[in-house]
Structure 1
Amino acid sequence: MKKVFIYAVVMLFSVFVGKAQDIKQAKSAIDAEQYEVAKKTLESITASSPSDGYAKFLLGYVCLLKGNHEAAKKNFDAGIACSSKANFNYIGLGFMALDKENVAEADKDFGLACKSVDKKTIEESVFIGKAYCYSVHPNYNKAIEILTKARLIDPKNTSVLLALADAYKLNKQQNESYELYREAFREDGTLLRAKMGLGALIKNTHNFPAAVTSFNEVIAMNPNYGPVYRELAETEYLWALNDGRNYDSHISKALGFYEKYMSLTDYSLESRMRHADFLILAKDYKALETEANEMTKLDKVNPKIYRYLGYSAYHNNNLDVALNSLNSFVSNPSSKLIGRDYYYLGASKLGKALIATPVDTVAISNGVLDLKKSIEMTPNLAGEISDLGKKLFEKKLYSKAASVYEIAISNAESKSLLLDNFYFASAAYWSCAGVEKLNSHQTELLNKADLSLDKIITASPTTQDAYLFKARIQVLLKNDIMVAKNYEDFVIAANKKDPTELASKGMKSKLIEAYNNLGIIYSATDKVKAKESFDKTLLVDPANQYAIDQLKILK
C-alpha cells in the first residue's frame, strides 16, 4: 500500500509538472506571437484538464488576440465554472467589456477577478493592466496606476516591469518606459521582449541605424524570435519615409523582414491580415492581392478580406473586382469602416466611370459622395483625393473636378493645399466659361473659387496666375472694377518674372489677354489709359489685330 501511495504521488506530481510545463510553453508561444501554436497547446490542456480555469482563460485570451471574440467569450464563460483559478476569466470578460466601452461592467468583472485572492498576488493585476492597454478603447493612465501598485508588491517581478514599460510606451512616456525595459532586462538577461522594447523606443526617436543595431542584438540571442523581424520591418518602412533617395531599398528590406516574421509566427488568417496591413503601408499591391486571395481560402466570409481585395484590385486596375469587393465590405454591418475604405470605393467609381463610353457622370457624382465621406473620417486623405480631381480636370470634366477639389481643400492642413486651391478655382472657372447666364450654383461656385485664389495670393503674392484667374472669374461675374484690378495685379506680378519666362509663348498670351481686357474696360472711362493698354499689347504682339482695331476706334 505504501508503494502504491508513493507511486500515485509521483504520478500526480509528474502530471502537475507536465501541465505547468505546457502552460509555460503556451505563454512562450504567446510572447513569440505564435498564436496558433499557443492555441493548440491550450486546447490540449483544457481537453485533458477541463477544471483548469487558468488554461481556459489563456485560451480565451489567445482568441482575443486573434480577433475571435465569440470563441474568447465562450472560453471565459466556461472558465468561470472551473474549480481552479476561475477568477482569471473575469479579467477576460472585463477586457471584452472595455472593448464595448462598458467601463462599469469592466470594473465589476475586474473586481470579481481580485475578490478572493491574496492581496500580494499580482498576476491578475498584470493582465488587468494589459486589458486597459490593449483594449479598443484604452486607458493607459489606469493601466499605469494598477501596474505601479503591483510593482510595489514585487519590485523585481519582470512580468510587472514589462507590462508597465509597455503602458508607459503607449502613453508616450518614453523615458519611463526605457528605464523599465532596461530594468527588466537586468533582472533577466533572457527576456527578448525587454531587449526588443529598448530597440522599439530607439526606433520611435527615428534613430534608425541604432534601432537596427539593437534588434540585431536580439537576433544574436535568438534568431528564431519572430516579433523582432516585425520590428525590423517597421523600422525599415519608417526609414524609407525619411530617406527618399533609398526608399526602394528600405521597402525591399522591410518586406523581407515581414516575410521572415510570418515564417516564424504563423500563417493564420489573423497573421495574414497583419501582413496585409503592412503591405498596404509598403504599397506592394501585387503581393497584397496574392495575400488577399490566400485569405479567401481560409475564410470566405470574413468582411475584412474584401477590404484587401478592393484596395489591391484598384491599384492593379481590376476595377470591377475593386467595386464588388468594396461594396461588399462597406455594406456589411460588422465592418469597422475607415476613411480609406470610402476613398477607394469613390476612386474605383471614378475610374470605372472615366473609361465608360460615354463617361458615366452619375457614377462620378456617386464617387464624389464617397470621397466626401472619406475625408470627413480621415482628413489627411486630402492630398490623395486631389490626385483624383486632376484626372477629371485632364478629361475636361471641370464641374466634377471642382467638386473633388472642393473636398480636398476642406483640410487646411493638407500639404497640397495651395495647389489644390488653384486647381479648384481654375476648374470652377472653366466649368462656367462660355455660359451665357449663370445660375445660383455657378455664381456661388465662382465666388468660392475667388476666395480660394485669395488664399494663394496671401501665402504666395508672386503667383501671377492667381490674379489672372481672379480676373477671369470677375469677367464671368460681370464685375468690371475687380476685373481691372486683378488684371493690373497680374501684369505687375508677371513683369517681375525672369525675361526668359516673360518671352515664353504662354506668358505672352496671358499678357495680351490682360492688356486687351484692360483696354476695353478703360475705353469707357479713360481713353488715354485704354490706348496705353492696347499699345502694350502691340509691344508683346505687334500683329495683334484686336488691339490694332481697337486703337483705330479710339482715335
Structure 2
Amino acid sequence: MKNIMKMMKQSIAIVAAVAFGFSAQAQSLEDGIKMIKYERYESAKKILAPLAGSNATANYYLGIAELGLDNPAAAKADFAKFPEDLANKAGMARVAFTEKNVAEGSRIAKEVADATKKKEWEPLKYAADAITYTEGGDKQQAITWYKAALAKNDNADLHIALGDAYQQVQGGGGEAMNNWESVTSKDPKNSLAFSRIGALWYAAKNYKLALESYGKAKDADPSNPLPYRDLANAYFWVGKYDLAKQNIEQYLQLSDKSIEDQMQYANILYLSKDYPAAISKLQELINGGANKAYLYRILGYSQYETKDYPNALQNMRTFFAKQEPSKIIYSDYLYYAKIMNQSNMPDSANYYYNKADQADTASNKSDVERQIAESFKDAKDYAKSAEWYGKLVTTYPETQPLDYFWWGAMAYYSKNYDVAAKAFEQMETKYPDQPSATYWRGRVAAAVDNEGKTGVAAPFYTKWLEKVGPTYDKKADLMQAYQYLTLYYYNKGDKATAQSYLDKVAAIEPTNSFVQQMKGIMSKPAPKK
C-alpha cells in the first residue's frame, strides 16, 4: 500500500512538473510572438532560440524575427529545419518574396494554403501572412485566405492581419478600419489594433485622430513601444517638437535599442530640427560599426541644415553608393541637389533636381518644385530659380500667388524682362486683389525704360498708387514709382506733374541725390516735345 501511494505521489509530481514545464514553454512562446508584434526582434530571438530546436512553431517565429532583423539567410536556415511543417514552409515563402522571387513565394504560399485540413485555420493565416508582410505577392489572395480562416475561427489576430492586407490594396482603407475597429470594440486593451487605426488616420493626414488612437494604443499596453514612436511622428506633423522628442525617448527606452530603433530616434531629432543632436547620434552609430545606408541619408540631410556642406556632400555620396537604387526617394535627390548647389556644382544640382521631380510620386508635385526653385534662389542662381517657378505655375496654375511673384521676381533679377513681364501680368490677371503684381509690372517696364522716355511703366505705377492709397508706408516701393514718374513727366514736358512727384520723393527723403539732380535739371528749360 505504501509503495502504491509512493508511486502515485511520484506520478503526480511528474505530471505537475511536465505541466509546469509545458506552461512555462507556452508562455515563453507567447512572449516571443508578442515581441515580434511589437517589433522587438532581438528580444524575440532571445526568447525563441531555446525553444526552436524542439518546437516547430517557435522555430517559425524565430525565422520571422530574423527577417525582422534583415537577416534573410539566417531565417532561411531556420525555416529549413522543419521542412514539412506548414508554418515553416510559409516562412520559406516569405524568404522567396524577400529575395524578389515572387513566383516561388506565391507557389509555396498556395501549397501551404491548399494543405489546410477541414477544421484548421492556422495554415491559411501563415500563407496569407507570407504575402501581406512582404512585397510582390497578390494581396487579394491573402484577403481571400484570411476570410476563409475567419470562417473557421473568428479571432483578433486574423482581423488585424486582414486589415493590414486591405490597407495595401487600392480603396481598402474602409475595410481595414472595419476590421481593426471590430477588434477594439471587443477588446479595448488591444494595443495593436488601436495603433493600426492611428496609422490609417496618420496616412490620411488627420493628425488629431491619429494622436487620439495612438494615445489609446499606449494606454492599452504601456509596454508596447510602437505607440510612442508613432506619437512622436504625429506630434512632429502638428509642430509639437517637445512632445515628439519626449515620446521618441520613451520609445527608445521600451524598444530593443537596435540600430533601427536608434535610427528612429535620430530621425525624430532631425525632423524636430535638432540637427546637432541628430548628427551626434548618427555619428555615434556609425563610429560604433553601424553601416546602414539610411544612417548616411539623415546625416547628410542634417549637415546640410547646419551648412556643413563638405561633410554633407561626402555623406550623401556614401548614401547613394550604399543604397539600393529602388529605395532612393525623391527627397534624397532633392537634398543631394541642394548640397551640390551650395558646393558650386550648378549643373550637377540641376540634374538631381530633375531626378527629384521625376521620383516624386505625388499627384501634385508643386511642393518639390517649389523647394527646387527656392534652393536656386538661395544660391543666387536667379535664372534657374525663375525656370523652376515658371514650370510650377505652368503645371499648377491654381497655385498660390507667391509662386507667381517669385517667378517674376527671379526673372527680373536675372534681367529676363520678357519672362518677368509675362509672370506679373499672369499674376495680376489671376489675383487682381494683389497690388504687388501691378507694382512689379511697373518695375519691370521701368527696367526696360530706365530713363522714363517711353512711359511704358507709368500706367502700372499710377494704377498701383491708386490701389494702395495714401497710407501705404513701404518707402522703397514708393520711391521707385515716384522717381520714374518724375522722369517720365519731365521728359513729356509736364513740368508741374513732374514737380509734384519730385516733392513726394523729397518728402520721403529730403537729401536724396535724385532730388538734388532733378532740381538742377528742372531749373533749366524743359526738353522739347
Which TM-score applies when normalising by structure 1? 0.75
Distance apart, 1:260 and its partner CA? 0.5
Task: Confirm or deny that 1:422 pairs with 2:405.
Answer: yes
Task: Please name the residue that 1:72 is paired with.
Answer: 72
Find the aligned partners of 1:174 and 1:311 in 2 and give their Cα distance: 33
Letter in 2 for 1:391: D
Alignment of 1:233-248 (within 5 A): 233-238=232-237, 240=238, 247=239
Q: Distance in 2 between matches of 1:102 and 1:551?
A: 90
Contact 2:228-2:250 at 8 Å conserved across structures: yes
Residue aligned with 1:553, SS:
coil
Whether the 8 Å CA contact 2:229–2:248 is kept in 1: the answer is yes
- TM-aligned CA deviation for residue 292 of structure 1: 0.8
Alpha-carbon shift at residue 93 of structure 1 (Å): 4.3
Deviation at 1:294, TM superposition (A): 2.8
Q: 1:496 to 1:194 in 2, by over 3 A?
A: closer
Cα separation, partners in 2 of 1:484 and 1:124, compared to 1, 3 Å: farther
Map 1:54-453 onto structure 2 (within 5 A). 54-66=57-69, 68=70, 71-83=71-83, 85=85, 87-98=86-97, 103-136=102-135, 141-154=140-153, 156-169=154-167, 175-188=174-187, 190-198=189-197, 215-238=214-237, 240=238, 247=239, 250-332=240-322, 334=324, 336-351=327-342, 353=343, 362-378=344-360, 379=365, 380-393=367-380, 400-411=381-392, 412=395, 418-432=401-415, 447-453=418-424
Per-residue CA deviation, residues 238-269 of structure 1 (Å, 9 max, x unaligned), is 3x2xxxxxx4xx22112101110111111101
Of the three residues 16, 30, 38, the one matched with 2:36 is 30
Q: Distance in 1 between matches of 2:42 and 2:377?
A: 47
Alpha-carbon offset, residue 151 of structure 1? 1.9
> Is 1:552 matched up with 2:526?
yes
Q: Is the contact made by 1:132 and 1:139 (CA closer than 8 Å) also made in structure 2?
A: yes
* Letter aligned with residue 46 of structure 2: K
Task: Give the Å deviation of 1:407.
Answer: 2.7
Distance 2:258 2:112 in 1: 31
Aligned equivalent of 2:506: none
What one-letter code is carried by the residue in structure 1 that aligns with 2:528? L
Q: Which runs of 5+ in 1 are unaligned?
A: 241-246, 354-361, 394-399, 433-444, 521-529
Deviation at 1:315, TM superposition (A): 2.0
Shift of 1:338: 1.7
The amino acid that maps onto 1:346 is A
> In structure 1, what residue type is equivalent to 2:148?
K
In 1, Cα distance between equivalents of 2:413 and 2:229: 50
Query: Corresponding residue for 2:468?
Result: 497
Whether the 8 Å CA contact 2:180–2:196 is kept in 1: the answer is yes
Name 1:45's counterpart in structure 2: 51
**1:541 counterpart residue number:** 502
| d(CA) in 1 for partners of 2:219, 2:332 | 41
Q: 1:110 to 1:492 in 2, by over 3 A?
A: same
Q: Is residue 382–residue 414 contact of structure 1 (8 Å, CA) maintained in 2? A: no
Tell me the CA shift for residue 515 of structure 1.
Answer: 6.4
- Contact 2:313-2:336 at 8 Å conserved across structures: yes
TM-score (norm 2): 0.78
Deviation of 1:29 (Å) = 1.0
1:349–1:545 Cα change, 3 Å: farther
Q: Which amino acid aligns with 2:34?
A: S
How big is the shift at 1:536? 3.8
String of CA shifts for 1:183-214, please: whole Å, max 9, x gaps: 32454454332344455566677776776565
Instruction: Please show how residues 450-461 of structure 1 align to structure 2 within 5 Å.
Output: 450-461=421-432
What amino acid is the match of 2:306?
N
CA RMSD of aligned residues (A): 4.0
**Structure 2 Cα separation of the partners of residues 315 and 117 of structure 1:** 55
Distance 1:421 1:518, change over 3 A: farther
1:491-516 Cα shifts (integer Å, max 9, x gaps): 32333222132883532323432564
Aligned residue pairs: how many?
A: 495
What residue identity is the alignment partner of 2:341? L
**Alignment partner, residue 512 of structure 1:** 483
Query: What do residues 118-142 of structure 1 show as CA deviations (whole Å, max 9, x unaligned)?
Result: 2543333334444444445686555
1:269–1:298 Cα contact (<8 Å) kept: no
2:264 and 2:375 map into 1 onto residues whose CA distance is 28
Is residue 53–residue 83 contact of structure 1 (8 Å, CA) maintained in 2? Answer: no
Give the Cα separation in 2 of the matches to 1:219 and 1:430.
54
1:111-170 CA-to-partner distances (Å, cap 9, x unmatched) read 12224332543333334444444445686555434323322222x222111212334455
The 2-side partners of 1:475 and 1:92 are apart by 76
Structure 2 unaligned blocks of 5 or more: 504-514
Corresponding residue SS for 1:57: helix
Distance 1:306 1:232, change over 3 A: closer
For the residues of structure 1 that align with 2:228 and 2:408, how far apart are their CA atoms? 48
The letter of the residue matching 2:358 is E
Report the residue type matching 1:43 in the other structure.
A
How far 1:38 moved relative to its partner? 0.6
27-36 vs 140-149, which deviates more? 140-149
Give the 3 Å change call, closer, same or farther, for CA 185–416 of structure 1 in structure 2.
closer
| Cα distance in 1, alignment partners of residues 439 and 93 from structure 2 | 61
CA distance in 2, matches of 1:389, 1:262: 38
* Structure 2 CA distance for aligned equivalents of residues 206 and 374 of structure 1: 23
